[in-house]
């Protein structure tokens, strides 16, 4: 391992991630592990320099106070404790210590080096993945989202041709998105990529389906089926690569913290797929994943891509999806993104997109009455997607976007700007 590590043992604090961030921001790599880790598991982590026992409000689980095993104190690493009156170590704090105190522990007590950076992280993960995988093969569903793209780039670096990527185009991607995945991974990084154009299959299944939950179920279910079909065609695959990142693990619940929502990567795998998992980003926060992508040479547009729901344009082509409305949506959305990029808003606005309801409105085009779709523009800012505020788009820019959409997408004759916060609205419409 290139980097020294401080291990945080989770004894029910709600601030494990805050502490891990604090330590990483001081230049030392830090990982959070469950309280019942064994000494052998600790030694196997390699380069551990010290341990912090992090207790807190979830410390009592099913009536039992969570403790670490006694030999953790005597296994040779410096140990301090936070919110842990019964800890058998000399140094104890009631609340998260200040930077000065943490620095003293890291550099004076543990003699850790401030060598946490993405270059070292990538080198460490490359080494670990090679050790885990050996000469066997890894399969990865490459959606083109930030996490799966970064994991793909890292695995290509680690094991080259032993990685098989499958990109399923469900026909609900944004304009040029699947093409970009092929360009970057097949043509530039020379990854072993299987591209499956399943557009017809998805759109046929979705025909006439207007209920949002039903649409989501069809898209999610079909996605897994297409992926499984591809997986079963391949031989000798032992591992499944996953773009699981640290917040996914936290939200799916730890031994002390409750489940917020079971995350697709963590909880939603079909049980009969017999693979071991390769998850090299599992310890990274989102901004660190992006930095890792840049370190691996991925294009900035891919790494700083705005969030995009798994069901894609399917939940923005409202009601029952029709092909002509889906195409109009794809074009209008591309225009909005282009204008936002030209105005520099792609770097500051969290999420912005077009949705199209399933009705037509009256308009006049070429001196004739005509029926056309209505494009809805939405642009929001948020920190955690639980609440969201509206981006106040400049009026001149709005007019330009309206002019372009109505001129370049003939089936759209109205554009509206939706300005409802979350709550009471959600970010997406379905």
Q: Do residues 389 and 352 make contact, with C-beta atoms less than 8 angstroms apart? A: no
Q: Which is nearer to ligand XMP, 212 or 299 (CB)?
A: 212
Task: Give the integer Cα–Cα distance in Å for 306 and 308.
Answer: 6
Q: Which is nearer to ligand XMP, 389 or 426 (CB)?
A: 426
Rg for the chain (alpha carbons), in Å?
Answer: 25
Residue 307 interacting with ligand XMP (CB under 6 A)? yes
**Pick from 77, 75, 110, 79: which is nearest to 11 by CA?**
79
Residue 426 interacting with ligand XMP (CB under 6 A)? yes
Q: Which is nearer to ligand XMP, 13 or 143 (CB)?
A: 143
Residue 427 interacting with ligand XMP (CB under 6 A)? yes
Beta-ladder partners of 7: 31, 51
Residue 262 interacting with ligand XMP (CB under 6 A)? no
Strands 237-241 and 351-355, bridge-based pairing: unpaired
Inter-CA distances, 89 with 92, 99, 168, 420, Å:
7, 21, 53, 53
Footprint of ligand XMP on residues 377-396 (CB under 6 A)? 385
- Number of residues binding to ligand XMP, judged by CB under 6 A: 10
Please select the residue that binds ligand XMP; options are 212, 247, 299, 310, rule is CB under 6 A.
310
Residue 311 interacting with ligand XMP (CB under 6 A)? yes
Residue 178 interacting with ligand XMP (CB under 6 A)? no
Strands 276-278 and 237-241, bridge-based pairing: parallel
Footprint of ligand XMP on residues 343-362 (CB under 6 A)? 351
Q: Where are any strands of DSSP class E within 230-337?
A: 237-241, 276-278
Instruction: Please tell me what DSSP assigns to residue 280.
Output: T
Token pair, residue 363, equals 């308009």
Q: Which is nearer to ligand XMP, 299 or 310 (CB)?
A: 310
Residue 97 interacting with ligand XMP (CB under 6 A)? no
**Which among 44-52, 125-133, 153-161, 306-314 is the span making contact with ligand XMP, rule CB under 6 A?**
306-314
Cis omega (within 30 of 0) on the bond before 237?
Answer: no
**Which among 97-105, 180-188, 338-346, 421-429 is the span making contact with ligand XMP, rule CB under 6 A?**
421-429
Give the residues lining the site for ligand XMP (CB under 6 A): 307, 309-311, 351, 385, 422, 426-428
């Amino acid at each position: 391992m290139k980097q020294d590590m401080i291990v945080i043992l989770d004894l029910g604090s709600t601030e494990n991630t805050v502490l891990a961030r604090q330590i990483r921001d001081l230049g030392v790599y830090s990982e959070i592990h469950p309280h019942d880790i064994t000494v052998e598991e600790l030694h196997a982590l390699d380069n551990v320099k010290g341990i912090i026992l992090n207790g807190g409000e979830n410390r009592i689980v099913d009536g039992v106070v969570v403790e670490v095993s006694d030999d953790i104190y005597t296994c040779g690493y410096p140990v301090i404790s936070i919110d842990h009156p019964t800890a058998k170590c000399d140094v104890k704090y009631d609340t998260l210590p200040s930077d000065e105190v943490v620095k003293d522990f890291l550099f004076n007590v543990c003699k850790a080096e401030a060598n946490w950076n993405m270059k070292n992280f990538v080198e460490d993960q490359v080494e670990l993945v090679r050790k885990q995988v050996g000469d066997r093969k890894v399969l990865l569903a490459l959606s083109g989202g930030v996490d799966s793209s970064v994991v793909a780039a890292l695995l290509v670096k680690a094991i080259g041709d032993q990685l098989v990527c499958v990109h399923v185009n469900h026909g609900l991607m944004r304009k040029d998105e699947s093409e970009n995945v092929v360009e970057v991974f097949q043509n530039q990084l020379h990854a072993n990529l299987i591209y499956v154009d399943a557009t017809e299959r998805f759109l046929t299944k979705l025909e006439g389906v207007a209920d949002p939950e039903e649409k989501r179920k069809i898209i999610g279910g079909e996605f897994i089926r297409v992926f499984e079909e591809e997986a079963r065609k391949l031989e000798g695959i032992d591992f499944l690569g996953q773009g699981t990142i640290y917040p996914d693990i936290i939200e799916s619940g730890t031994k002390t913290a409750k489940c917020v929502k079971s995350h697709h990567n963590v909880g939603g795998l079909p049980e009969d797929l017999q693979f071991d998992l390769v998850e090299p980003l599992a310890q990274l926060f989102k901004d660190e994943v992006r930095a890792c992508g840049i370190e691996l040479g991925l294009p900035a547009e891919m790494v700083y891509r705005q969030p995009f729901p798994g069901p894609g344009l399917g939940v923005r082509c409202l009601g029952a999806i029709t092909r002509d409305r889906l195409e109009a949506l794809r074009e209008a959305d591309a225009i909005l993104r282009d204008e936002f990029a030209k105005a520099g808003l792609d770097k500051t606005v969290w999420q912005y997109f077009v949705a199209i309801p399933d009705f037509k409105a009256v308009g006049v085009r070429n001196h004739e009455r005509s029926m056309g779709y209505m494009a809805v523009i939405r642009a929001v800012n948020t920190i955690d997607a639980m609440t969201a505020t509206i981006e106040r788009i400049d009026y001149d820019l709005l007019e330009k976007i309206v002019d372009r959409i109505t001129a370049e997408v003939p089936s759209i004759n109205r554009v509206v700007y939706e300005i409802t916060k979350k709550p009471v609205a959600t970010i997406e419409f379905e």
